[in-house]
């Protein structure tokens, strides 16, 4: 009887040890963790910020042009754009830590020549316009990791006074000043609704999201 009890005690003890070992193994195994992926940059944030900067810059130009045009006439507007357009975009860009550029295939100022990324965007917008598809703003990263906001610039009726057909939309006195200031000007012959060019707003901070 004592032998039977001893054997039973040993079996129970062994079983208890095995159960304890199983519990300890479970404690030692860490739960599987899902891989942590770095979130992609927020397209919506950059798009909203880009649109605000583009609209602000346009309003600033429009205000200046209207003021000078009413006081001194359109030839003075051409002089103003020649002397101040890039300076104004640079100053607004610096205030928002971006680089603001307006570019086109039909340039007035050769300093605004499009780079390869801008050419691709211009071509895409031109295809959409021809196919009667919407030309929506886009946000893309360049090869260096900088985020760019691109948006189309369409010709409005008022723009034809400096970008329409010479002798028809553009007065002779205005066109004379254009050719003096921009000898290689290609930015005429447009009609309302045409694609004039694009905004390219480059965000200079690659490490922080736009809020």
Does residue 83 lie in a domain region?
yes
Condensed to tens digits (0 to 9), the pLDDT of residues 27-37 reads: 455 455 544 44
Is the residue at 24 inside a domain?
Answer: no
Q: What percent of the chain has pLDDT over 90?
A: 76
Residue 122 has pLDDT above 70, yes or no: yes
Range of the domain at 170: 43-203
pLDDT of residue 43: 84
Token pair for residue 10?
């040993």
Residue 35 maps to a domain: no
For residue 10, is it within any domain? no
Instruction: Count up the domains in the chain and report the number.
Output: 1
Query: Would you state the structure tokens that stand for residue 180, as one six-digit string?
Result: 């003096």
Residue 138 lies in a domain: yes
183-190 long-range contacts, CB within 8 A, separation 24+? 184/107, 184/110, 185/107, 185/108, 186/106, 186/107, 186/108, 187/104, 187/106, 187/107, 187/108, 187/163, 188/106, 188/163, 188/164, 189/106, 189/164, 189/165, 190/106, 190/155, 190/159, 190/160, 190/163, 190/164
Q: Is residue 174 part of a domain?
A: yes
In a domain, 60, yes or no: yes
């Amino acid at each position: 009887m004592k032998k039977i009890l001893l054997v039973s005690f040993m079996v129970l003890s062994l079983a208890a040890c095995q159960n304890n070992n199983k519990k300890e193994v479970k404690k030692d195994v860490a739960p599987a963790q899902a891989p942590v992926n770095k979130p992609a940059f927020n397209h919506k944030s950059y798009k909203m910020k880009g649109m605000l900067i583009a609209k602000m810059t346009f309003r600033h130009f429009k205000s200046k042009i209207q003021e000078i045009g009413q006081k001194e006439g359109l030839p003075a507007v051409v002089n103003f754009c020649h002397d101040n357009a890039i300076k104004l975009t640079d100053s607004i860009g610096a205030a928002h830590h971006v680089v603001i550029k307006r570019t086109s295939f039909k340039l007035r100022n050769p300093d605004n020549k499009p780079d390869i990324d801008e050419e691709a965007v211009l071509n895409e917008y031109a295809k959409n316009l021809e196919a009667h598809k919407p030309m929506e703003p886009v946000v893309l990263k360049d090869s260096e990791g900088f985020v760019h906001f691109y948006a189309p610039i369409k010709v409005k009726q008022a723009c034809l006074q400096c970008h329409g057909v010479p002798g028809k939309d553009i007065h002779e006195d205005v066109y004379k000043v254009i050719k003096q200031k921009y000898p290689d000007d290609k930015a005429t012959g447009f009609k309302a609704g045409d694609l004039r060019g694009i905004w390219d707003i480059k965000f200079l901070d690659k490490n922080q999201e736009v809020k």
